[in-house]
């Protein structure tokens, strides 16, 4: 007779609890598993919330385990259901909705709660924490209605919230009690460099200020500081810290202090009840960073599975900042004391800083700013308190050629169960097994197989080192990145194979080229569809099913299921007649918000799906392609037509370029700007192609980006005539279309190819330039304007919006 499985209940659906479950499943231990989660979502990556806030990722992008994962592993999941207490006498878990579940073993993984300052006014409307998706949604919603935000707390969480709100268009001031940002992770020099960098990105700071009151009637209107000064704000984010969520343990008679007390095997004071993650207190320490949670989970998983395991003895914490354009890392000790020897390297031109702290000639701490490529190896060296040697010094400080040798030695000395990817709890052994047992040869394949590098990407250098160590001499030949985890073929190889074999459809490409997933994935299907259209502009039939949902619907879907419609305004110019139509349509179809965008257009936010065809018909305007991998906007200043400083007709040139190239697909979204003079009012410096007028003609810039990875555009060339300007812009676009990787912005494309290569191809080589222009003109001839079809063809309109 088969032995009855034990009932394992996990209280908490976050990274610590589900990470532990993943380890248990990998070890082959079988339980009847029930999971309770207080949020209405599957397990997601909480440390990526800042990317959701700033808009570079969606909630779906940060989900770690989909609904199907729970079904496939026969896990009973109760979302939106909090557990109130545990009946330890009768071994029952009791939820807030009255549901009771018997248990043999329990893992409490309730995480932490944001600490809300108990100052007068903390309960006012417009005051939130920053801990979960609901908080994120509140912040996004507030950015649409309010202007001034204050973030109380200059730690990791506060700075991530501040940058997200700045990206959402708010004026943000970070209020911090101390004189240094992230004073628990950074020394004074790194904190100063961080503050300067963030100020350049639009964040203001009120340092050394203590908030004593939040003012307002029903909604917050400002902050009062201890010195009597005030700060105006209509939205406040509390990010002053977190506290372990020990409510369930306290209600169940389990011993707690600051957190739930656990021993070296994560056992609580109650029999058969364990705790893991931010809710715990181990040896007097409560951890608020992700890596210790997975180290705890690995020990607990082996203990519950009956596998021999060394006890958990604590973690050496490290911090890596995840704000766009800012790279900061610290591990171990970071403030020098009398007993420390200090090694420092500072480069003001490259804005990099490195400090190593030694105690008795052993590495006990490190701080990096600007360049954190060594973070993974430094974290390991600090954890091991490695002895400083000439070779190690040469490797770390760049004074010798011992880097490769040290990297190999570092990988070789790592324990098999050492966690490489702290975000997803992936060990060295899991990566090595993926390489040796499953034939993985690229970082992308390892990411798809194990989850390593899936989140913040900080462990990528270490994953590459493990690849190099395991594959040896074969690494250089095999370790190339495929376009996704379904294939090891790179972008160039896929394109070459399509041309060589005459492949015509996405399904044909995946079948002939041996995709590991027959149906592909959401990353490769749109990419192949784009490459086919770029290679065969005359014959390729666009595959709507391979498009992203926004492209299929011709509008941007919002979190409530409605859509944002963005009509095109060429060069940011419209007419009173068009404005009247927009107003009439907005009123008729109950549009929630009409938003002026940074691209000089109007967003009609809150259109119902069923109303989309009628909205477009009555607007009688072309789409602004706000959803597409194509030319989004051409931003302009008023130029010579109206401005006393203008030297060129920027509005006319912007409209001309937008009308000419609006219909083409690109590898990624594409933005342009045209300025009538060097005053740069249209912000050409952050556009894919930026154009600046001067007395002698035009100057063309390429590769700018104002998004998650800001980059100032490079000056490509100067031209004297409008004809030459349009010709070179066309050549740049076609060269990008033909050589860019799918979803690769021009900012990355320019750095990959090099500015000189682009200049030689589209500027210096007239023959190649004209050939590129001829190919883009041919592609333009094949593209029908879809909006004329939508307005005039009932069948096409029905297909688009159904």
Q: What is the CATH number of the domain that holds 166?
A: 3.50.50.60
Q: Is residue 107 part of a domain?
A: yes
Q: Is residue 146 part of a domain?
A: yes
Q: Is residue 604 part of a domain?
A: no
Q: Is residue 427 part of a domain?
A: no
Q: Is residue 332 part of a domain?
A: no
Q: Tokens 């903390």 belong to which residue?
A: 122
Q: Do residues 121 and 215 touch, judged by C-beta distance below 8 A?
A: yes
Q: Are residues 105 and 132 in the same domain?
A: no
Q: Which long-range contacts (CB under 8 A, 24 or more apart) does 162-165 make?
A: 162/198, 162/203, 162/237, 163/50, 163/54, 163/198, 163/201, 163/203, 163/323, 163/324, 164/50, 164/53, 164/54, 164/139, 165/53, 165/139, 165/235, 165/237
Q: Are residues 231 and 252 in the same domain?
A: no
DSSP 653-711: HHHHHHHHHTT-B-SS-EEEEEESSTT-TT-GGGSSEEEEEETTEEEEEE--B-SSS-B
Q: Are residues 648 and 755 in the same domain?
A: yes
Q: Do residues 19 and 47 touch, judged by C-beta distance below 8 A?
A: no
330 beta partners: 319, 367
pLDDT mean by block of 10 residues, the chain; 802 residues? 82 95 89 96 88 79 90 95 96 96 97 92 94 91 93 91 88 95 89 90 94 96 96 95 95 97 97 97 90 89 93 82 70 87 88 92 91 79 88 75 50 74 78 85 79 72 81 56 76 88 88 81 84 88 71 69 83 88 90 84 86 86 80 89 86 90 89 90 90 89 83 91 93 93 89 89 92 91 56 45 40
Q: Are residues 208 and 255 in the same domain?
A: no
Residue 525: its pLDDT value, please? 85
Residues in the chain: 802
Residues 355-370 as b/e (b if ≥16 CB within 10 A, e otherwise) read bbbbeeeebbbbbbbb
Q: How far apart are CA 689 and CA 254, in angstroms?
A: 62
Q: At what angle do helices 403-413 and 390-397 cross, to 10 degrees?
A: 110
CB contact set of 587 (below 8 Å; sequence gap of 6+): none
The separation between CA 293 and the C-alpha centre of its own chain, rounded to angstroms, equals: 21
556 beta partners: 564
Q: Is residue 224 part of a domain?
A: yes
Structure tokens at 746: 């021009």
Global pTM exceeds 0.85: no
What secondary structure, in 3-state letters, does 302-313 show? HHHHCCCCCCCC
Last residue of a domain, one of 305, 324, 356: 305
Q: Are residues 166 and 271 in the same domain?
A: no
Q: Do residues 94 and 87 touch, judged by C-beta distance below 8 A?
A: yes
Q: Are residues 639 and 733 in the same domain?
A: yes
Q: Do residues 616 and 554 touch, judged by C-beta distance below 8 A?
A: yes
Q: Are residues 267 and 182 in the same domain?
A: no
Strand (E) or helix (H) holding 7: strand 7-11
Q: Are residues 719 and 670 in the same domain?
A: yes
Evaluate the CA torsion angle 553, 555, 557, 561 in order and state its sign.
negative
Q: Are residues 256 and 234 in the same domain?
A: no
Q: Are residues 758 and 678 in the same domain?
A: yes
Residue 583: its pLDDT value, please? 92
693 beta partners: 698
* Torsion angle (degrees, nearest 10) of CA 588, 590, 595, 601: -30
Backbone angles phi, psi at 563, to 5 degrees: -130, 155
Q: How far apart are CA 464 and CA 507, in angstroms?
A: 31
- If we measure between CA atoms, which residue out of 408, 352, 354 comes closest to residue 377? 408
Q: Is residue 563 part of a domain?
A: no
Last residue of a domain, one of 266, 285, 305: 305
Q: Is residue 598 part of a domain?
A: no
Q: For the chain, how big is the Rg over CA atoms in Å? A: 28
Structural domain for 497, as ranges: 491-547
Residue 234: its pLDDT value, please? 95
Last residue of a domain, one of 190, 219, 240: 240
Q: Are residues 278 and 134 in the same domain?
A: no
Q: How many beta carbons lie within 10 A of that of residue 682, not counting itself? A: 27
Structural domain total, the chain: 4
Residue 54: its pLDDT value, please? 74
Q: Are residues 646 and 780 in the same domain?
A: yes
């Amino acid at each position: 007779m088969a032995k009855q499985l034990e009932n394992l209940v996990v209280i908490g659906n976050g990274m610590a609890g589900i990470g532990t479950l993943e380890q248990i499943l990998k070890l082959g231990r079988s339980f009847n598993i029930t999971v309770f989660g207080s949020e209405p979502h599957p397990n997601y990556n909480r440390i990526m919330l800042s990317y959701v806030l700033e808009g570079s990722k969606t909630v779906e992008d940060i989900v770690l385990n989909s609904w199907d994962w729970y079904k496939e592993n026969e896990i009973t999941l109760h979302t939106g259901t909090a557990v109130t207490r545990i009946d330890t006498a009768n071994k029952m878990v009791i939820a807030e909705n009255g549901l009771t579940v018997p248990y043999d073993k329990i893992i409490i993984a309730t995480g932490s709660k944001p600490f809300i300052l108990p100052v007068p006014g903390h309960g006012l409307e417009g005051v939130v924490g920053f801990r979960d998706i609901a908080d994120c949604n509140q912040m996004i919603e507030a950015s649409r209605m309010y202007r001034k935000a204050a973030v109380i707390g200059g730690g990791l969480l506060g700075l991530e919230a501040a940058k997200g709100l700045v990206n959402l268009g708010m004026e943000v001031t970070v209020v911090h009690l101390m004189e240094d940002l992230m004073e628990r992770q950074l020394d004074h020099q790194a904190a100063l460099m961080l503050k300067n960098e963030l100020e350049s990105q639009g964040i203001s700071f009120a340092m050394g200020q203590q908030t004593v009151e939040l003012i307002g009637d029903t909604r917050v209107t400002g902050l009062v500081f201890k010195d009597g000064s005030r700060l105006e704000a209509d939205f406040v984010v509390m990010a002053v810290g977190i506290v372990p969520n020990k409510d369930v343990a306290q209600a169940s008679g389990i011993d707690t202090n600051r957190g739930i007390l656990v021993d070296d095997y994560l056992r609580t004071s109650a029999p058969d009840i364990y705790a893991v993650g931010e809710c715990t207190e181990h040896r007097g320490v409560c951890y608020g960073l992700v890596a210790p949670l997975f180290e705890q989970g690995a020990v607990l998983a082996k203990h519950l599975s009956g596998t021999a395991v060394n006890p958990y003895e604590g973690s050496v914490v490290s911090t890596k900042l995840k704000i766009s354009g800012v790279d900061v890392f610290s591990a171990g000790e970071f403030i020098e004391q009398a007993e420390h020897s200090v090694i420092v390297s500072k480069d003001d031109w490259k804005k990099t800083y490195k400090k190593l702290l030694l105690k008795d000639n052993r590495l006990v701490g490190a701080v990096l700013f600007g360049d954190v490529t060594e973070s993974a190896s430094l974290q390991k060296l600090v954890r091991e308190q490695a002895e400083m040697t000439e070779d190690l010094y040469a490797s770390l400080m760049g004074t010798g050629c011992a880097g490769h040798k040290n990297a190999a030695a570092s990988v070789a000395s790592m324990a098999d169960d050492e966690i490489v990817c702290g975000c997803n709890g992936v060990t060295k052994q899991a990566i090595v097994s993926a390489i040796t047992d499953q034939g993985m040869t690229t970082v992308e394949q390892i990411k798809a197989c194990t989850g390593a590098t899936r989140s913040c990407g900080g462990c990528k250098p270490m994953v590459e080192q493990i690849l190099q160590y395991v594959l040896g001499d074969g690494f250089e030949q095999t370790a190339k990145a495929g376009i996704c985890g379904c294939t090891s073929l790179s972008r160039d190889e896929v394109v070459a194979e399509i041309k060589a074999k005459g492949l015509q459809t996405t399904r044909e490409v995946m079948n002939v080229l041996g995709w590991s997933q027959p149906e592909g994935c959401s990353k490769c299907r749109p990419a192949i569809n784009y490459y086919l259209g770029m290679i065969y502009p005359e014959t390729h039939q666009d595959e709507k099913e391979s498009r992203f949902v926004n492209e299929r619907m011709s509008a941007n879907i919002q979190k409530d299921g409605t859509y944002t419609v963005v009509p095109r305004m060429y060069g940011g110019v419209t007419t009173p007649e068009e404005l009247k139509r927009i107003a009439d349509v907005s009123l008729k179809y109950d549009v929630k918000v009409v938003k002026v965008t940074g691209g000089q257009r109007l967003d009609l936010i809150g259109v119902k799906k069923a109303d989309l065809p009628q909205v477009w018909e009555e607007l009688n305007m072309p789409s602004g392609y706000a959803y597409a991998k194509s030319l989004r906007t051409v931003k302009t200043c008023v130029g010579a037509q109206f401005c006393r400083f203008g030297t060129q007709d920027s509005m006319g040139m912007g409209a001309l370029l937008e009308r000419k190239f609006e219909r083409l697909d690109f590898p990624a979204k594409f933005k342009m700007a045209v300025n009538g003079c060097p005053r740069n009012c249209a912000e050409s410096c952050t556009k894919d192609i930026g154009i600046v007028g001067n007395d002698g003609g035009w100057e063309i810039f390429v590769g700018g980006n104002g998004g998650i990875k800001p980059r100032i555009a490079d000056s490509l060339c100067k031209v004297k005539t409008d004809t030459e300007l349009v010709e070179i812009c066309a050549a740049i676009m076609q060269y990008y279309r033909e050589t860019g990787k799918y979803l690769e912005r021009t900012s990355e494309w320019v750095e990959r190819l090099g500015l000189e290569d682009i200049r030689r191809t589209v500027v210096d080589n007239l023959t190649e330039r004209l050939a590129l222009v001829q190919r883009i003109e041919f592609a333009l001839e094949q593209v029908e304007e879809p909006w004329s079809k939508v307005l005039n063809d009932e069948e096409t309109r029905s297909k688009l919006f159904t």
